[in-house]
């Protein structure tokens, strides 16, 4: 506490003494610094930058929209099996009765009937023979520890399935796939 009191006494004693010339702040001549004008280039450049970014965004959106317009989505359809026709008798009587015939036309006897062939049931549809899926090898990223391949634009690893076919091996230049105990080797085309 005495250190603080001593410092206060010295400060008050020094303030009452006149300062020697050249040592005080009263002899310093201070001049104001002229204000620096802010740069105007951001005001001119920022709208141009924003307009460029907006136009690039519009271009990318339009390009993406155009590429989606040309793509056809894969459609899987089932074969429509016709329903069996109802039983039709072999002979159909003439729809015009004798009394309804005009006097100038000869009457058709009831025994004269139009023969209609019997409805033949459609043969059962041929059994659908499953075929090996359509697989196209697009690329191979070969690493000895974990090789991968791009098949039908999908990245696959050994043991994974694509279109019901299992990838059983990937080498530096080919991919081996197995489907229903049938094995095929895919190579780059």
Give the model's pLDDT for residue 179.
Answer: 87
Compute how many other C-beta atoms are within 10 angstroms of the C-beta atom of residue 16.
6
Lowest mean pLDDT among 42-51, 93-102, 159-168: 93-102
Give the model's pLDDT for residue 175.
Answer: 92
Give the model's pLDDT for residue 156.
Answer: 92
Half-sphere exposure of 76 (CA within 13 A, CB side): 0
High-pLDDT (> 70) share of the chain, %? 65
Question: For 167-178, what is each residue's pLDDT tens digit?
Answer: 999 998 899 999
Give the model's pLDDT for residue 38.
Answer: 81
Give the model's pLDDT for residue 32.
Answer: 86
Question: Above 60 in pLDDT, residue 107?
Answer: no
Q: What is the mean pLDDT of residues 122-146?
A: 84
Give the model's pLDDT for residue 65.
Answer: 74
Give the model's pLDDT for residue 157.
Answer: 92
Domains of the chain, residue spans: 137-187
Question: Above 60 in pLDDT, residue 20?
Answer: no
Structure tokens at 17: 């003494």
Question: Above 70 in pLDDT, residue 74?
Answer: no
Largest CA distance in the chain: 154
- How far apart CA 43 and CA 96 sit, in angstroms, is 94
């Amino acid at each position: 506490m005495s250190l603080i009191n001593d410092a206060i006494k010295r400060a008050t004693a020094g303030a009452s003494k006149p300062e020697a010339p050249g040592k005080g702040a009263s002899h310093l001549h201070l001049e104001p610094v002229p204000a620096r004008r802010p740069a105007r280039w951001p005001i001119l450049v920022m709208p141009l930058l924003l307009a460029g970014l907006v136009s690039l965004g519009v271009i990318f959106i339009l390009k993406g929209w155009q590429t989606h317009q040309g793509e056809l989505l894969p459609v899987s359809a089932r074969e429509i099996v016709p329903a069996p026709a109802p039983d039709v008798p072999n002979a159909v009587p003439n729809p015009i009765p004798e009394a309804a015939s005009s006097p100038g036309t000869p009457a058709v006897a009831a025994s004269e009937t139009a023969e209609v062939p019997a409805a033949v049931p459609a043969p059962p549809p041929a059994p659908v023979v499953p075929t090996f899926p359509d697989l196209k090898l697009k690329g191979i990223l070969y690493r000895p520890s974990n090789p991968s391949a791009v098949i039908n634009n999908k990245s696959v690893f050994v043991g994974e399935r694509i279109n019901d076919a299992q990838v059983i091996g990937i080498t530096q230049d080919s991919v081996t796939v197995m489907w229903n105990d049938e094995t095929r080797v895919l190579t780059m085309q």
